């Protein structure tokens, strides 16, 4: 059973287990050891978002990595997909991102990429866990306690170096601009972009301006504590208001590490990841750039996406929730486009993980090529009513071991028949069970969701 890693790395409240300096030092050691086993001196890239706690986690990682004889290169605040790209560009052995994505500033997390820029498979994360937990970082036990494999490898003659690379953002900006059609520009477009006071606060405006857009920039003054605070993709209403006030063509809202995006059309309506997939997949197919004629998404994507894609002869393959599982299926099947309703969009030809800026550029390219406004393009998909209820839980036993919950799910599924879907799952990053229902109308699905949520609350709910 996984004890540290969730669906997107390790995440928690800063200075509380597992997001403590002690755990992160050992994580740095474990990563340096794992990726340096060939006998050569390994090099690890480390980037972060704009959270205040990023400073001490950066230092903790450096302490762990260099103590094992590996070198570390800091690239500072940069979107998560930027770290993935630079890991391969620098020929680093691994890349580490210090970020809690869309969470508030009090939280932080660690994501790890291999030398190929892809997130680590489950089995590698479990190997790292076993090294980190060989001695319990919550105890005061001597790190050289018998049986600790990391302590046994520490050598005073083998110490790594740490350095900072100053032009990481410039290299990433060039990479992202190459994802936009070279025969087009954004000249004549007015765009509101909300950077969530996060990792993209410099690079997103730079990319859009260099491609010719007129910008209204929000959320580009991070102070360490305002990341995702009433801004960005988790609070898009402010950007929507500015789109209407300024007569902008669209709004782009990113989250704290810019690996997801929610768009806003010229009428102020929100455009989620499902709608973006429904727009982009047919365009790629028309250009002969959709091998396998499949799109990969998760069990949470709206059934309306499936119907919209089917009209173009495109299939939808569903995975577990988490962009790493979407990417895994893309690589396994040879497909190139996937994503999540939440706005994680993966264009595998342009990057190895979700990239909010790259995704926005794909939609902007379609707008420029067709001359159609975003409100017209998003009609490619009609979403079925969908509701999501979160229930805080005290534990996460298999749902099949909760008979009252399974009975509630079965009752709702029988009532819905082929007019909807039920998905009940645990969050991979929070102590929550998520109840998602699609159906014919909001009143019906909200009633059904409440029934299942009540059953979960009674069985394992937190008080």
For every residue of 220-288, DSSP letters joined together read ----SS-TTTT-GGGSTHHHHHHHHHHT-SEEEEE-TTSS-EEEE-TTS-EE-HHHHHHHHHHHHHHTT
Q: Tell me whether strands 432-438 and 421-426 are parallel, antiparallel or unpaired.
A: antiparallel
Helix and strand tally (H, E) in the chain? 14, 18
Q: How far is 309 from 45, CA to CA, in rounded Å?
A: 39
For 6-36, give the secondary structure using H, E and C: ECCEEEEECCECCECHHHHHHHHHHHHHHCC
| 3-class secondary structure, 422 | strand
Residue environment code for 343-371, b if the CB has 16+ CB neighbours within 10 A, otherwise e: bbbbbbebbbbbbbbbbbbbbbbbbbeee
Kind plus residue range of the DSSP H or E element containing 114: strand 107-114
- Looking at residue 138, what is its pLDDT? 57
| Number of Cβ within a 10 Å radius of residue 104 | 15
Residue 333 annotated as catalytic: no
Q: How far is 177 from 72, CA to CA, in rounded Å?
A: 27
Contact 461, 389 (CB under 8 A): no
Catalytic hit among 101, 233, 301, 352: 101
- Looking at residue 153, what is its pLDDT? 85
Q: How is residue 345 written in tokens? A: 């969009």
Q: Enter the DSSP assignment of 121.
A: P
Q: How far is 143 from 136, CA to CA, in rounded Å?
A: 9
- Domains identified in the chain and CATH numbers: 10-166 (3.40.120.10), 171-268 (3.40.120.10), 271-380 (3.40.120.10), 386-460 (3.30.310.50)
pLDDT in tens, the chain (463 residues): 678 998 889 999 999 999 999 999 999 999 999 998 766 789 999 999 999 999 999 999 999 999 999 999 999 999 999 999 999 999 999 999 999 999 999 999 999 999 999 999 999 999 999 999 987 555 444 444 456 888 888 888 889 999 999 999 999 999 999 999 999 999 999 999 999 999 999 999 999 999 999 999 999 999 999 999 999 999 999 999 999 999 999 999 999 999 999 999 999 999 999 999 999 999 999 999 999 999 999 998 998 999 999 999 999 999 998 898 999 999 999 999 999 999 999 999 999 999 999 999 999 999 999 999 999 999 999 999 999 999 999 999 999 999 999 999 999 999 998 788 999 999 877 899 999 999 989 999 999 999 999 999 999 999 7
- Looking at residue 276, what is its pLDDT? 98
| pLDDT (tens digit per residue) in 94-117 | 999 999 999 999 999 999 999 999
Nearest to 386 by CA among 301, 298, 262: 301
- For residue 227, what are the CA distances in angstroms to 74, 199, 241, 345, 356? 20, 9, 20, 21, 16
Contact 242, 229 (CB under 8 A): no
Q: How far is 55 from 219, CA to CA, in rounded Å?
A: 20
Q: How is residue 388 written in tokens? A: 């999501």
Tokens 């005290």, residue located: 394
Nearest to 8 by CA among 81, 111, 103, 104: 111
Q: How far is 129 from 148, CA to CA, in rounded Å?
A: 13
């Amino acid at each position: 059973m996984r004890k540290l890693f969730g669906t997107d790395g390790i995440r928690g409240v800063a200075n509380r287990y597992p997001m403590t300096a002690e755990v992160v030092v050992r994580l740095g050691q474990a990563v340096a050891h794992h990726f340096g086993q060939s006998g050569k001196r390994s090099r690890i890239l480390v980037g972060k978002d704009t959270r205040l706690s990023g400073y001490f986690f950066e230092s903790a990682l450096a302490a762990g990595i260099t103590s094992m004889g590996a070198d570390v290169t800091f690239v500072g605040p940069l979107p998560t997909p930027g770290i993935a790209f630079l890991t391969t560009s620098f020929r680093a052995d691994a890349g580490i991102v210090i970020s809690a994505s869309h969470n508030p500033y009090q939280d932080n997390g660690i994501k790890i990429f291999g030398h190929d820029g892809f997130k680590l498979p489950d089995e590698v994360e479990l190997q790292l866990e076993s090294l980190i937990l060989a001695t319990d970082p919550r105890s005061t036990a001597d790190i050289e306690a018998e049986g600790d494999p990391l302590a046994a490898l520490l050598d005073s003659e083998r110490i790594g170096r740490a350095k900072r690379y100053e032009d990481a953002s410039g290299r990433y900006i060039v990479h992202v601009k190459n994802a936009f059609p070279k025969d087009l520009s954004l000249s004549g477009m007015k765009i509101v972009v909300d950077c969530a006071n996060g990792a993209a606060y410099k690079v997103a405006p730079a990319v859009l301006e260099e491609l010719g857009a007129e910008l209204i920039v929000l959320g580009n003054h991070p102070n360490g504590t305002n990341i995702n605070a009433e801004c960005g993709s988790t609070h898009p209403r402010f950007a929507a208001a500015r789109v209407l006030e300024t007569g902008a063509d669209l709004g782009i809202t990113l989250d704290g590490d810019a690996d997801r995006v929610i768009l806003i059309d010229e009428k102020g309506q929100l455009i989620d990841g499902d709608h973006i997939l429904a727009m982009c997949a047919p365009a790629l197919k028309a250009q002969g750039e959709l091998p396998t004629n499949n799109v990969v998404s998760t069990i949470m994507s709206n059934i309306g996406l499936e119907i919209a894609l089917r009209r173009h002869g495109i299939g939808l393959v569903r995975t577990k929730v988490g962009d790493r599982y979407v990417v895994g299926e893309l690589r396994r099947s040879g497909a190139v486009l996937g994503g999540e309703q939440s706005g994680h969009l993966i264009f595998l030809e342009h990057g190895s993980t979700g990239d909010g800026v790259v995704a926005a550029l794909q939609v902007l390219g379609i707008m420029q090529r067709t001359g159609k406004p975003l409100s017209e393009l998003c009609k490619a998909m009609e979403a079925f009513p969908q509701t999501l209820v979160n229930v805080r839980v005290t534990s996460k036993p298999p749902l099949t071991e909760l008979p009252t919950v399974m009975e509630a799910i079965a009752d709702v599924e029988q009532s819905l028949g082929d007019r909807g879907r039920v998905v009940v799952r645990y969050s991979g990053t929070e102590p929550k069970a998520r109840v998602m229902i699609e159906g014919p109308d909001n009143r019906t699905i909200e009633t059904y969701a409440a029934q299942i949520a009540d059953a979960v609350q009674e069985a394992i709910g937190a008080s």
